Structures are given as C-alpha cells and as structure tokens.
Amino acid sequence: MIFGMSEGLYTALHVIVALVGIGTGVVVALGLIKGKILNGWTGAFLVTTILTSVSGFGFPAHQLLPSHILGILSLASLTVAVVGRYRFQLRNGWRTAYIVSALVALYFNVFVAVVQAFLKTPALHALAPTQKEPPFAAAQLAVLLTFVAIGFVSVRRRRALPA
C-alpha cells in the first residue's frame, strides 16, 4: 500500500499523470518553437510534471536510486521554470531560463518514458534487454538531439514571447 492505495493503482496514476505531463509539454514546446506562450497548456504542463516528479518519490525504495536523482533534478528545473514564468513574468533573462528549464523538465520525462518503453515493451526489450545496447542508445540520442534542436529554435525565438 502506498498512501492508502495499492501499488498498482498508485503506479497507474503516476503513469497517467506523467503521460499528461508529456502530452501537455509537447504542446508547450510546439508553442515555444512558434514563439508563443500557451498559458493554459503551460500551467497544466508545469503542474502535471511537478506531480510526476513528486509522486516518483512515493514508490518504496531503501536507497537513493537514479530515478530519485532525476526527480530532484527535474524539480530543480521546474522550480526555475515556475519562478521565471510566474514570478518574473518572463522578463529579461528569465525568458531564456524558463524555456531551457521547461524543456529540460520535459526531456527528463521523455527520457524516463523511453527507459520504461524499453523495459515494458517486449519488442523493444528484446532489442535492448540491459539498456546498454545500440538501439537504446540510439533512441535516447535521438530524443536528446530533438530536445537540443527544440531548445535552440525556442531560445532564438524567445523575443517573440509575450512578457
């Protein structure tokens, strides 16, 4: 039992919130590429991504795991995004800080989604059972390069973002 619910239910809720975070994050990233802030989508992305990171700490563990470190890094990145967006209203350097930190948080969630896909999808698991094989590395490299490209374009178009 985790917080009064079965581990299966807790996992399902965690996964649903994570997928909503990724979905809303993709919409936010597409907006950033176009030089737009999508306020409702941004709020949904930030809230669900924070919930994803926080709920990740609810799983039973007896030691610090890589997932915990990624959760800590994600929450640090999300803190910068929230402060830049809502406290400083994207003024000055906070515009770039928001873009980069929001995309880093989304990247972390997509990184974990790829890890989980290779763990849980039989065809992918067969290609990379230890996640040290080239197909896994290629998938993660493709994700990383995609986010670098999105970040580059978004930062270049940051001046178009409304303050």
Number of domains in the chain: 1
Q: Which pLDDT tens digit goes with each residue over 28-87?
A: 999 999 988 899 999 999 999 999 999 999 988 899 999 999 999 999 999 999 999 999
Asked whether residue 84 is assigned to any structural domain, the reply reads: yes
Tell me the residue range of the domain where 152 lies.
7-160
Asked whether residue 128 is assigned to any structural domain, the reply reads: yes
Q: Which pLDDT tens digit goes with each residue over 129-151?
A: 999 999 999 999 999 999 999 99
Residue 8 binned pLDDT confidence (cut-offs 50, 70, 90): confident
pTM: predicted TM-score of the whole model, two decimal places: 0.92
Asked whether residue 94 is assigned to any structural domain, the reply reads: yes
Asked whether residue 2 is assigned to any structural domain, the reply reads: no
- 3-state SS, one letter per residue, for the chain: CECCECHHHHHHHHHHHHHHHHHHHHHHHHHHHCCCCCHHHHHHHHHHHHHHHHHHCCCCCCCCCHHHHHHHHHHHHHHHHHHHHHHCCCCCHHHHHHHHHHHHHHHHHHHHHHHHHHHHCHHHHHHCCCCCCHHHHHHHHHHHHHHHHHHHHHHHCHHHCCC
pLDDT value, residue 160: 62
Asked whether residue 1 is assigned to any structural domain, the reply reads: no
Asked whether residue 83 is assigned to any structural domain, the reply reads: yes
